[in-house]
Amino acid sequence: MQNNWSIAQTQKLFSLAFIASEKGRGLNWAFNKMSNDCGRSINSVRNYYYSQLKMFQLVPSLASDLNIKLVNSNREQFELFDEQEITSLVKKILVAKANGQSVRATIANLSNGDTKLALRLQNKYRSMVTHHKSKVQAIMGEMASSGTVFYNPYTKLLVTEEPQNNHKKLAEYIGTLNNDEVDNFLNIMQKLFA
């Protein structure tokens, strides 16, 4: 299958996007229809649309020369979390979890019924726990040092005090590792004590 898009296909894609907007449908409807019509994956269609949209926004005359109407995007600007907001979010959720509240219930309270904010908070928290383990561990270290009771999402245990002995510290550390990291850790220990 060729990866090149013809002008006619580009025009059709943007026409479908415009129709979707006019009928109150999401862009996914246009991407799905175009995917079915041209035999490309929906992700390929979506990626192409956004790359062309960026180009048409930079060079509006190109879109008008091709008789392409752009959808008026009402999307809000993407807001990034600052470090203080991230730390506060993670702390609030870990403390609430220690008190028996679910992540969703905590986020619902933090967002005051704003579903967009709730989704944003949930995605950020999940991203932090999954992809930024060292940052979450640093936050938990601060909480443990201050005597805050919290839930450790890696060990699935409550932390009620700062670990006082090395065995407990070692057990908690190993609990934060994935299987490959545990295997590497054990291999290193074997070499050290062999």
Q: What is the pLDDT of residues 141-172, one digit of tens each?
A: 999 988 899 999 999 999 986 545 667 777 78
Looking from the CA of 177 toward its CB, the CA atoms found within 13 Å total: 13
Q: What is the pLDDT of residues 130-142, one digit of tens each?
A: 999 999 999 999 9
Q: Give CA–CA dist 155/90, Å, rounded.
A: 16
Distance of CA 45 to the CA centre of its chain: 22
pLDDT: is 157 or 77 the higher one? 157
- As given in the structure block, the two tokens for residue 70 are 């752009």
Q: Give CA–CA dist 127/123, Å, rounded.
A: 6
Kindly report the length of the chain.
194
pTM here?
Answer: 0.49
pLDDT band at 76 (very low <50, low <70, confident <90, very high): very low
Q: Is the dihedral of CA 130, 134, 135, 139 positive or negative?
A: positive
